[in-house]
Amino acid sequence: MSHDWIFDVLRDLRTYALANGLPALAAKAEEALRVAEVEIAAQRRGGGPEGGRGGSGLAH
């Protein structure tokens, strides 16, 4: 499954937040983008967490 859509959603959220005076939300969206980039890159390399679970312990 391609995760590329999540990058579009997070970028849209960041853009919306910046345009509407929500800087803390924009910062969190940026942080989420960085986390998604790292985790998805690791998963694509086959280096994801055991059992295909993320840091939350929930299946993706």
- 34 or 60: which leads in pLDDT: 34
What average pLDDT score do residues 8-35 get? 98
pTM of the model: 0.71
Whether 59 has a pLDDT exceeding 70, the answer reads: no
Instruction: Report the C-alpha dihedral over residues 45, 12, 22, 40, rounded to 10 degrees.
Output: -10
User: What's the CA gap between 46 and 44, in Å, rounded?
Assistant: 5
51 burial class (0-12, 13-18, 19+ CB within 10 angstroms)?
exposed
Whether 39 has a pLDDT exceeding 80, the answer reads: yes
